């Protein structure tokens, strides 16, 4: 694929996926995420040919101009969209697939620094095709985010994520998989510093229930379904109100 074709493909991808994009020339001139990716392609080629210092210097210049730091060793796929982009960091051994979206402040970071046979070990994440990462999310270590998965804003991902999943939290846990809500019923599944306290509390509640002869069971699924219905009703109310309530237009 020629350079001009790749540039045109990148611009068209932004036009399709960014509602703020109004024209091709606007995207070409004012999208720092594209500029950072285009410079990275040159840097990556230099890096692979052994021009390591030159590649690093150019990457630092691109970082100064765009606010986006992409190590020349990182492997980026086609149609990568870095929206806004300020503060995005992509590490040396990171691998990013096609049609991935990254928002500002995203870090694809590494863990450890031990080399393997004279080469950098795989210590940064792999993002498969179609992954969406919200702003200020951190994906750390040699883990894989499966195809078409979504990482919520501010999340810290420390474990592999299966395809077609949505993860949120610190540390991140799966809340949707293949379109279905995932409910955590076992405190052992919550891998955060409060897990032990939650487990101890659960044990005490179970003992109290046993001592008092048990209590009425609680169905979390019904509760979440009721929340979804209430949320949808609220959205419909807002849409109806928007027809006659001024939202400050023309101010």
150-205, pLDDT tens digit by residue?
999 999 999 999 999 999 988 888 888 888 887 766 655 666 666 677 777 878 88
- Using CA atoms, how far residue 202 sits from 38, 88, 222, in Å, is 52, 40, 21
Q: Is residue 217 part of a domain?
A: yes
Q: Are residues 235 and 171 in the same domain?
A: no
CATH number at residue 83: 2.160.10.10
Tell me if the pTM is above 0.85: no
Q: Are residues 130 and 45 in the same domain?
A: yes
**pLDDT given at position 132:** 95
Question: What domain range includes position 153?
Answer: 3-183
What average pLDDT does this structure show over 133-142? 94
Q: Are residues 165 and 229 in the same domain?
A: no
Q: Is residue 246 part of a domain?
A: no
Please tell me the total count of domains within the chain. 2
Q: Is residue 199 part of a domain?
A: yes
Q: Are residues 199 and 134 in the same domain?
A: no
**pLDDT given at position 59:** 94
Least confident among 44-48, 189-193, 245-249? 245-249
- Structure-token pair, residue 114: 């031990």
Rounded CA separation 27/13 (Å): 10
β-strand 165-168 against 173-177: which pairing, if any? antiparallel
């Amino acid at each position: 694929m020629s350079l001009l074709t790749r540039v045109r493909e990148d611009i068209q991808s932004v036009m399709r996926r960014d509602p703020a994009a109004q024209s091709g020339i606007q995207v070409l001139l004012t999208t720092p995420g594209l500029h950072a990716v285009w410079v990275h392609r040159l840097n990556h080629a230099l890096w692979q040919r052994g021009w390591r210092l030159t590649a690093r210097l150019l990457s630092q210049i691109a970082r100064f101009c765009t606010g986006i730091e992409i190590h020349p060793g990182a492997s980026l796929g086609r149609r990568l969209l870095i929206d806004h982009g300020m503060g995005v960091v992509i590490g040396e051994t990171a691998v990013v697939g096609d049609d991935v979206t990254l928002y500002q402040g995203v870090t694809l970071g590494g863990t450890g620094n031990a080399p393997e046979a004279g080469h950098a070990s795989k210590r940064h994440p792999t993002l498969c095709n179609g992954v969406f990462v919200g702003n200020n999310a951190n994906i750390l270590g040699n883990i894989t985010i499966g195809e078409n998965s979504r990482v919520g804003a501010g999340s810290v991902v420390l474990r592999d994520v299966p395809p077609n999943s949505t993860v949120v939290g610190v540390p991140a846990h799966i809340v949707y998989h293949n379109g279905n809500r995932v409910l955590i019923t076992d405190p052992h599944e919550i891998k955060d510093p409060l897990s032990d306290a939650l487990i101890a509390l659960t044990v005490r509640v179970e003992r109290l229930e046993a001592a008092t002869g048990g209590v009425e069971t609680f169905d979390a699924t019904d509760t979440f379904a009721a929340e979804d219905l209430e949320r949808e009703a609220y959205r419909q109310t807002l849409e109806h109100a928007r027809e006659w309530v001024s939202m400050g237009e023309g101010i």
